Structure 1
Amino acid sequence: MHAPITLLADKSLASALTVGDLTARAGLDVLALLVLVGWLYRRRRPGPEMPLVLTALNLGLFAAMTAISAGKFPAGVGFGLFGILSLVRLRSAAFTVRDVAYAFIALVMALSNGLPQRETWMIIAIDAFLLVAVLLVDDPASHRPTRVTKVTLDRVYRNPEDIRADLTARLGTEPLAVEVDEIDYVRETTRVSARYAVEDSTRVFIPGQRETQDSSPHPAAPVGEGKSL
């Protein structure tokens, strides 16, 4: 009674997969990804790193499924791989979403290259496909590096434009975007997350430091640590 199931389990899921079929499927996936990320998602003013994350997840899963379905994949290997991935924790503040995207691509490449009984041309194509995609999406020249700084302001604002103007006056740099995190009417404070453009990502970022390097920070605007988004 279980003979057909056994035969299906032993048979490769991609035994009839050809180069043309694989190219057509990859092209369809890339086209759908361009519509989703390049058009639909960008209408929502996303963070500068989110297109890379979405691209890495989509193409990474496509490459992983292609490599897995191209030959036998024992259940024991799947459980072991799941256990290894569960040990990888990237929720620390030291990791940004860009780091998570690169880590995911690295894991997918390791999975594809390590699977036995796969065609060499397919593994090379998967590696080149992922590397070229990351090269095109994460081009530093295509976007300005930014930092998000959390600021607590000592008043409550009625107009969002007043928050932007006050941040510019206090910190000496106009923010690219401002998001209100919390309004405390009891203490009369407003907590905001302000995104600033930075030129040198290797140094500690303080808003306005290029204009006010020799001056002391404003006493009425306690600034938290900046972190990448």
Structure 2
Amino acid sequence: MDALVLAAKGITHHIAPTDLSTRGGLDVVALLVLVGWLYRRRPSAPAMPLVLVTLNVGLFAAMNAISAGKFPAGVGFGLFGILSLVRLRSAAFTLRDVAYTFVTLVIALCTGLPQRDGWLVITVDTVVLVAVLLVDDPRTDQPPTRTVRLTMDRVYDDPSLIAQDVAFRFGRAPLSVEVDEVDYVRETTRVSARYPAVPGEPAAQDMEPREQVTAA
């Protein structure tokens, strides 16, 4: 239908209706596998499937609009500039969501380019989906953790003492501790400590400085 409308305007000499329909069908199938099956194997933000689908469909449409006729280079950059304005601002947006968003855009780019051999598009989509299937395996999940960010009111000469001090002040030994910032002016050290996650707790938590306890 889209191709027929564009053909009526005389700008689809580079896109045939059959080619557009074939690529659109491949994009839908790949999207169903990626979002409908692979992504839904794990708990996620309820709105993320909608985000992934709209990004894919929007980029697919933009690629076809750019390829449909003689567009100035500025128009193409403008369309992708508009897409770059989209920001996903959600506390539940994880690195896994970033990966799936990237794969969603890659599939849209591969299927959105006209006059490409069908076997090439199918091969690229299949390779991407199989890679996601193998890497994002729920059976290999590590126990969930949460990050606690603390500001320690001292500078440590011996880095090995940081984990001990964090355990003493927070009340539990951390799984790991990373130093984020050392301020020699204020004599503070900002660290991120990882702890086993407890159901219902946030993924990250900021802790204000506590009084330094000194041994007598």
TM-score, normalised on structure 1? 0.48
When normalised by structure 2's length, the TM-score is 0.50
